[in-house]
């Protein structure tokens, strides 16, 4: 997280343009939120219209989200040479698992990065586990 999904009609973008768009979206997101670049994912898919969907962590205020949308549409559109529409959605950090552990809340990224578990064998001791299988009665 965040995950930005850029959809354009087939053959609208080439590799160079996609790279430039990925970099500008990363820059915009990091400048506005303070999140590290390693958090920012950008995907490109084919579809009927030029759209961007930004899946971001919950807890961002409306003004920041508005600025994200405005800048992404403007700057991505300038690179691609076409107009984009954009919408966002938000997910609680507690419901995101990345790098072997639960994602940090906005503003807690540096502490999270500072305790990065070792890549091999990591993850089992870094978070609570349920005592056993959990069943819900319907």
Partner 1 sequence: MASPPMYKCLVNGAIGADARRAIVDGLTELTGVHFGEHELTVEFIEIPEGRWFTAGRPSRASMVLGTVPTGTAQGVRVTFMDAIARLFADATDTDYHDVMVSAPDRKVS
Which parts of 98-137 interact with partner 1 (CB under 8 A)?
98-100, 102, 119, 122-123, 127-130, 133-137
91 is a contact residue toward partner 1 (CB under 8 A): yes
Tokens of residue 38, six digits: 């390693």
Calculate helix-pair angle for 15-33, 62-80, nearest 10 degrees.
Answer: 160
Cα atoms found within 13 Å of the Cα of residue 10, Cβ hemisphere only: 0
Of 62-70, 72-80, 89-97, 104-112, the window that binds partner 1 (rule: CB under 8 A) is 89-97
- What is the closest distance, in whole angstroms, from the C-beta atom of residue 62 to partner 1 in the complex? 20
Cis status, amide bond into 92, omega within 30 of 0: no
Summarize as ranges the residues that interact with partner 1 (CB under 8 A): 1, 3, 15, 18-19, 22-23, 26-27, 36-38, 40-45, 91-92, 94-100, 102, 119, 122-123, 127-130, 133-138
């Amino acid at each position: 997280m965040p995950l930005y999904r850029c959809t354009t009609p087939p053959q609208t973008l080439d590799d160079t343009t996609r790279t430039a768009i990925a970099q500008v979206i990363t820059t915009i997101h990091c400048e506005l939120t303070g999140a590290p670049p390693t958090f920012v994912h950008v995907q490109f898919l084919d579809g009927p219209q030029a759209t961007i969907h930004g899946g971001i962590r919950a807890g961002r205020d409306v003004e920041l989200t508005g600025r994200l949308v405005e800048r992404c549409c403007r700057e991505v559109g300038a690179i691609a040479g076409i107009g984009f529409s954009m919408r966002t959605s938000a997910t609680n950090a507690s419901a995101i698992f990345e790098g072997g552990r639960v994602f940090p809340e906005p503003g807690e990224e540096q502490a999270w990065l500072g305790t990065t578990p070792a890549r091999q064998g990591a993850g089992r001791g870094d978070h609570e586990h349920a005592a056993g299988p959990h069943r819900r009665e319907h």
